[in-house]
Amino acid sequence: MTDIFDNKVLCKNCGKEMKKAKLVKRGFQMRALICENCGNKIIHPQDELEYKNFLGLKNKVFKVKLRLVGNSYAVSIPKEIVSFMREQEKMFNDLVKLTFEDAKKLKLIFD
Ligand SMILES: [Zn+2]
């Protein structure tokens, strides 16, 4: 399947060829086409859809149980979150950084 962004796209406002660019919204990277003349922007439809999925997951509260495994506690991370991250990062590392941020908050960094 050819990507729509591999074609020459002309700006609807000024007829100039639009240039490929990357946009980052809330840490979310999206492919875009930008008209350098008038600033008109087109976000890649596929990325825009993924961004909407991301907004649906972002800040959603999941209730997960703590399970004792040996000498540690384990928490299940909902599959939809991990699948989403895997799609985002072409390289996905199973090693996660964990920080005890404050008395009631743990932070996981997938990087
Ligand atoms: Zn334009």
Indicate if the alpha-carbon torsion angle 80, 81, 86, 87 is positive or negative. positive
What spacing in Å lies between the alpha carbon of 43 and ligand 1's midpoint? 14
CB 8 within 8 A of CB 42: no
pTM: predicted TM-score of the whole model, two decimal places:
0.63
CB 55 within 8 A of CB 42: no
Each of the 111 residues of the chain gets a pLDDT tens digit; together they read 788 899 999 999 999 999 999 999 888 889 999 999 999 999 999 999 989 988 888 889 999 999 999 999 999 999 988 888 887 776 667 788 999 999 999 998 887
What spacing in Å lies between the alpha carbon of 11 and ligand 1's midpoint? 5
Q: For 1-60, CATH number?
A: 2.20.25
- List the domain boundaries for the chain: 1-60, 61-111
**H or E element in which residue 100 lies:** strand 97-102
